[in-house]
Structure 1
């Protein structure tokens, strides 16, 4: 997607400003060289090669002032301020110094006039056309005024008038020529900068697409070394501690790639990778028609069965949603009738207790219906860049507003530094709500209030959020069934909270796991994908 016109104009303006600053710096450096050359002529024995100056005192004073001013202008150019003003002041100083130097050193007048030609051209290269032509005209007036001065007061101009006129015409011509050349250069540079920004945007989009692909992608050179790999490929091949040799990472895949490069015949037999022996079907494509660098696409065949399972669950979800709506109507009637009966004075204590049980079970059944509806309405993840530390702080601040003091406390552990991740903020909010609510309900000892801590960090390079409590922990026998739907160890639970939380994590390509904590307590760890679009192999 190309950048907007405003972005393109801003890019062009920045590129133009940088180019003009760079040109001004070299222009100022050349001015220092000119002043140093004049000083060499007037203050060293080398000046005898040119001849004696007509006005030694004027020449030396002009040279010293010009040298100091040139150094000051060079310092000013490095301050990156008032670019147009610097060029106008510097060009006026160049013309004045050149006119005085020509008057003092008539034998060196052609050389000084030629050096001024570069100053005029450089000014026209940076300034708009009217200022550039003005600088050329001022330089022409300067050399002609020096000729009149010499004729009136020295009676010896040293050079004919025709030469001065030709220099004046040359100043105007070079100003026009360098302006046109500079405009063409600036337009070309701005176009190159704009195209570079577009290419960078397209590269970022392509990398993001490759990163979000469920198909594993490897870039393998002719020597069998992995140059790039997306997250799906790394998950399929398994962590190899930075190993880049495909032969060591996946020997069977390396052999099949060599066979394909030699014969060009595909093999549709799946390969098994990793400790879980996942079946993967590799496909190959040459990056260049005549090269050995190849793109390797790894298709997880289990995704087909997962898609079929997802379709089944989706159908079941729609059915459950419609069934849940039908259940809620009589359930609401039963709950309302129970509440009316509880208000009657003719109900004895035993019957009132039965009504309370009916009411509690109605509430529990309604909770199950709400969970099923929430699972059926779940939207697809829209991942975006999120600072987990800031998100955790906002979540805790919002949660505390609705948390009764007797329920316990929720806090963010330590001073978390910014940790970036790719996740749907709505889904992350729902997952944290489930985990924190479970921790407040079950994660405390009978005689102590619940204390829940959210810890944000980067575990092995991956953005991670830990939800920790100080409770008795989860029994060993129940850990394997924690995330199964409708599994609960409480008579008041629905058994859908952790299941929905894990499903939401999977929708964001994240993981939700239970981690044992030494010394008591529980920890539910959310490991999210990082913000980098392509991971190094």
Structure 2
């Protein structure tokens, strides 16, 4: 980058950098002050100054013109003019020529104006640290020697003027070489600093994207629980509102009470582990860990938020995967004797010599044979589950079609099946695999109808679709009118092989949640004061799915 900057300066084909423009503005202010002082000196009484000018009229004209030129440049730069490299080069050349013209019209090389030429050469080498800077020194040296030589030949000048002019030439070249070396070092340092600053900005952007896309929630808090920073995962896990602008929207958020209590307990006992909690009924079980960002007390605290349901599901998936492989290996060996048992029971039922107790025993054999076969089928379906093929779905239209298809499969039930459908207006679309989510709904609807009939004698459920609080995600509720689930068992209903139905396998709700997770949706049990159970499927934002 430093080489590119130097070469660009040599060619003079680009605008100077910001720092170079600032230096040129400062130099132009200096020229305005110097030219103003020279103009002011014209109005001083001649008796107070050496008035042995060679060409007084030309000197006065030159001073006035130099002041006018510098004032004009200062005005247009104040108006917003951005000088290019060629403008800076021409300005330095004019300074050197005008200063030597004033020397020529005044008292020659012995005038104090000769010292101003050194400043012009030095400024040129700072603003143009290249071969052009050496040219400035050479031009100034030639002009100084020319003025001194002309004075000796025409006006009986002193031979010391040549020596003085030579001394000034040495100063010009010395200033050029020293300042060019310093300027090149500064430019390389500035280019390196710019390159590193750009790399740091790029790394910060990459880190920001990584943090925002992490599935682990990350919060930065102060010791009073005020949210300073949060990534999208933390927003979704704690507040249910994922956002890409978390740093602008989280400062006014209030922490869930369970997390605030955990923070207070950790501040008193840093070695204590915080208990898992749920910030809302539809939220997954969360585990948080705290760490101090700064050693100073009262500074920022970093919080990691883990979705415990995912960890639990991974452990259960490993367990069921092993169970599925085992079941797939021995399914043939189990089904053959199971089929023989079931067939023998069917043959025994046809015997006319069985009493009521024998028939009851045969019914137990048949029922449990079907249950064992159902367990094998469910475990095999888990191990053979295909990946989700998600499509963007109009949830309102899809739910109406699902209700019509489901009712067709329930036409001959007694009592008749009733599915109440309620859809809020303007709900957003969702992205999921329709066949897998329909399988989830069939499971939830069948369970709901069964428990509603057992409790109230009517096969009635309610399907409701709406939008979450942020208006960006869709949910579908399946509510039955059964006896409900006791609060102490609400966290166990999604565990494999857990069931309250003696004829169930305990895998239906677990399989339903697994299918939802495969579609980046979340299946949860809603705890409210209404009768029955309400299961909610909350779909992911269609534009944020990974």
Give the TM bin, normalised by the shorter chain: 0.5 to 0.7
Q: Structure 1 residue 253 and structure 2 residue 253: aligned?
A: no
* Distance of aligned partners of 1:193 and 1:245 in 2 relative to their CA distance in 1, 3 Å threshold: same
**CA positional deviation for 1:161:** 3.5
Residue aligning to 1:45: 44
* 8 Å contact kept, 2:134–2:176: yes
- Please list, as runs of the form range in 1=range in 2, the aligned pairs for 1:34-433 lying within 5 A after superposition: 34-42=34-42, 44-45=43-44, 50-52=49-51, 53-71=53-71, 73=73, 75=76, 79-80=81-82, 82-83=84-85, 85-106=86-107, 110-156=111-157, 160-238=161-239, 244=251, 248-276=254-282, 278-292=284-298, 293-307=300-314, 376-378=386-388, 431-432=391-392
* Distance of aligned partners of 1:314 and 1:147 in 2 relative to their CA distance in 1, 3 Å threshold: farther
Deviations 1:438-483 (A, max 9, x none): 67x979xxxxxxxxxxxxxxx9xxxx7699xxxxxxx994446969
**CA positional deviation for 1:182:** 0.7
Rg comparison, structure with higher value: 2
Residue aligning to 1:512: none
* Distance of aligned partners of 1:164 and 1:189 in 2 relative to their CA distance in 1, 3 Å threshold: same
* Distance of aligned partners of 1:299 and 1:98 in 2 relative to their CA distance in 1, 3 Å threshold: same
* Distance of aligned partners of 1:526 and 1:245 in 2 relative to their CA distance in 1, 3 Å threshold: closer
* 8 Å contact kept, 1:218–1:227: yes
Residue aligning to 2:342: none
C-alpha separation in 2, matches of 1:158 and 1:221: 79
* Distance of aligned partners of 1:377 and 1:284 in 2 relative to their CA distance in 1, 3 Å threshold: closer
**CA positional deviation for 1:528:** 4.9
C-alpha separation in 1, matches of 2:276 and 2:90: 75
Deviations 1:55-80 (A, max 9, x none): 22111221233234334555489644
Determine helix, strand or coil for the equivalent of 2:278: strand
Deviations 1:165-193 (A, max 9, x none): 22111111111111111101111111111
C-alpha separation in 2, matches of 1:172 and 1:212: 59
C-alpha separation in 2, matches of 1:225 and 1:11: 50
Residue aligning to 1:506: 520
Determine helix, strand or coil for the equivalent of 1:272: coil
* Distance of aligned partners of 1:377 and 1:224 in 2 relative to their CA distance in 1, 3 Å threshold: closer
C-alpha separation in 2, matches of 1:15 and 1:192: 20
Deviations 1:267-305 (A, max 9, x none): 242233235364322211111234442111122212223
* 8 Å contact kept, 2:16–2:84: no
Under a length normalisation based on structure 1, what TM-score does the superposition of the two structures give?
0.56
C-alpha separation in 2, matches of 1:57 and 1:178: 36
Residue aligning to 1:345: none
* 8 Å contact kept, 2:520–2:540: no
Determine helix, strand or coil for the equivalent of 1:506: coil
C-alpha separation in 1, matches of 2:225 and 2:539: 37
C-alpha separation in 1, matches of 2:282 and 2:6: 50
Moved more, 192-201 or 149-158: 149-158
* Distance of aligned partners of 1:171 and 1:505 in 2 relative to their CA distance in 1, 3 Å threshold: farther
C-alpha separation in 1, matches of 2:97 and 2:175: 19
* Distance of aligned partners of 1:173 and 1:217 in 2 relative to their CA distance in 1, 3 Å threshold: same
**CA positional deviation for 1:236:** 2.8
* 8 Å contact kept, 1:224–1:245: no
Residue aligning to 2:17: 17
* 8 Å contact kept, 1:8–1:194: no
Which fold has the larger relative contact order, with Cα–Cα distance below 8 Å and residues 6 or more apart in sequence? 1
C-alpha separation in 1, matches of 2:166 and 2:97: 17
Determine helix, strand or coil for the equivalent of 1:276: coil
* 8 Å contact kept, 1:285–1:295: yes
C-alpha separation in 2, matches of 1:54 and 1:36: 22
* 8 Å contact kept, 2:229–2:250: no
Determine helix, strand or coil for the equivalent of 1:298: strand
CA-based RMSD: 5.2
* 8 Å contact kept, 1:120–1:171: yes
